[in-house]
Amino acid sequence: MSASTTNIHEDSLVEYGFNRVIITITAVLCALLEIVDTTIVNVALNDMRGSLGATLTDVAWVITAYAIANVIVIPMTSWLSQQFGRRNYFAASIIIFTSASFLCGNASGIWELIIFRFIQGLGGGALLVTSQTIITESYPVAKRGMAQAIYGMGVIVGPTLGPPLGGYLVDTYSWPYIFYINIPIGIIATLLTLRYVKSPKYGEKMSANQVDWYGIITLAGFIGSLQYVLEHGQQDDWFNDGTIVTLSVISFFSLFFFIWRQLTYEFPIVNLKVLKDTNLRVGTILSFIMGFGLYGSTFIIPIYTQSILGWTATDAGLLLIPSSLMTAFMMPIIGQLLQRGVPQKYLVAIGFLMFFFFTFWMYNIMTPDTGEEFMYWPLIIRGLGLGLLFVPITTLSLSTLKGKSIGEGAAFTGMMRQLGGSFGIAIITTFIARFSQEHRVNLIGNIDATKVQVQDRISQLQHGFMAKGFSSNEALDKAHKIIDLSITKQSTVLAYMDIFLFLGILFLICIPIILLIKNNKNKVNISEAMH
């Protein structure tokens, strides 16, 4: 296809007036559906475990299955759009997602729920990237910064909306309603898609024997195996466990053969050659780190407030709302700044610095009884930082791409953001377990039973229990348990502090990477291929 033909197709997708408003609302709504569902489940896990008779390890797969399906399908979305037409593929994805939501709500066993969550993830992964591409191509080039800002509001606010909405639905109704809420929205989105969304015409469709089945299998093998290793490594003692070793080997070779296949096959499922673009390469790295910070902090704050401070799921979720509102407030401002020519690299650098300030602030204020008022301002800074990151990183990544490369580029940034999130949560979970144990050992080592302060504290607790009618021995036993619980609590808080510090250092280290970003006007034709 000639460049002029590509431009005609690209221009023909630009919408104006009412049609553009409807397309934007539909795309943001679908992106929001997908992202809210990555976090809404977190607050319902205990209820699911109780009603379905599942173990904690089993119920964790409700999150993992969705994440794996997401990451498998995201890189394939551009190719699938080409095969079936973007409008048809987008509508089919919404229908799959909505139908699977209904089946999840009606699941009678844990593994039935996990299978339906996987199917839901296959539909949901497509929604994220295709929404981004639809919005990007519906706006003229000059207004794409603003388009990404509108889309970004959904993507950033989504993970934060999940916990309070899920908490409310679980507390008020029951856990199936976190899935049922998707159904009316999905039906409306399907009808709007079929009526208003247009499909570009890029190239010919492939026959079944041209489909890169080996690429699909190796990608699924890599993502699925690696996710399992990260999720279960800590509890299964890492490489001392045969399953972990086997899946690590499968993950490594699957990645190797996947890259080799995509670079040598005539019709690759994922066009890795688009990564020749320097801006896109840097953008994918930054998207991964942003996903790590966004989903990691959204995961750890509710855990800290619920398990340490004793908050309800709803209260824990509501704490994140000011941060989201700040991000939403920042999005149009950032969009305007980009339109006026402010370089993306400066905005991204400030965003990373803001996120570092947030993590360092949290590191300093965390205690076993920190009040809500102390966390308010750090979370505002977090919202400000994420607002400065999302749009500039996305526009930067896609800024020098044209035609169907925009869709392929969006697939990479979307995949890397989700990968950063799912890997981040898995890694954070591992480190919490490890650091908690280390701090516990150190704290126990510092408690000397011969010290007067320790003896007085135990005696005080013992007398307190004896006053409630317990015998001397029972009261002493309970006093020791109270001391043990306070040590566990303190060691967990110290572990959370470590996580925030490491997150902050990661963001700080990344600021030099931003120097690799090329300004759009200085775009150079990169000759070296990815080998």
Q: What is the pTM of this model?
A: 0.74
pLDDT at 254: 92
Distance CA 78, CA 85 (A): 10
Q: Count CA within 13 A, CB hemisphere, residue 369.
A: 1
Encoded tokens for 53: 């008779």
Instruction: Out of 268, 296, 311, pick the residue that ends a domain.
Output: 268
pLDDT at 525: 26
pLDDT in tens, 18-35: 778 888 888 888 888 887
Q: Which of 37, 199, 201, 203 is nearest to 134 (CA)?
A: 199
pLDDT at 10: 46
Query: Does residue 84 lie in a domain region?
Result: yes
pLDDT at 519: 62
Q: How many CB atoms lie within 10 A of CB 8?
A: 11
Q: How many CB atoms lie within 10 A of CB 389?
A: 30
pLDDT at 257: 92
pLDDT in tens, 482-511: 777 778 888 888 988 999 999 899 888 888
DSSP H helices, 139-273, are: 144-172, 177-180, 182-196, 213-232, 242-264
Same domain, 304 and 288: yes
Query: Does residue 205 lie in a domain region?
Result: no
Using a 10 angstrom Cβ sphere, with 0-12 exposed, 13-18 middle and 19 or more buried, the burial of residue 479 is: buried
- Supply the DSSP symbol for 48: H
pLDDT at 137: 76
Distance CA 393, CA 348 (A): 7
pLDDT at 141: 73
Same domain, 487 and 519: yes
Write out residues in the chain with pLDDT < 50, as ranges: 1-10, 521-531
Same domain, 72 and 149: yes
Query: Does residue 63 lie in a domain region?
Result: yes
Q: Residue 348: what are its φ and ψ, rounded to 5°?
A: -65, -45
pLDDT in tens, 188-199: 888 888 887 777
Query: Does residue 207 lie in a domain region?
Result: no
**Total of domains in the chain:** 3
pLDDT at 414: 74
Same domain, 223 and 320: no
What angle (nearest 5°) sits at the alpha carbon of residue 444, between those of residues 441 and 450?
150
pLDDT at 462: 72
pLDDT at 373: 81
Distance CA 183, CA 185 (A): 6
pLDDT at 452: 66
Q: How far is CA 61 from the centre of its chain?
A: 16
Same domain, 66 and 129: yes
**Coarse DSSP helix, strand, coil percentages of the chain, rounded to the nearest 5 percent:** 85, 0, 15
Structural domain boundaries, residue 216: 212-268
Same domain, 252 and 301: no
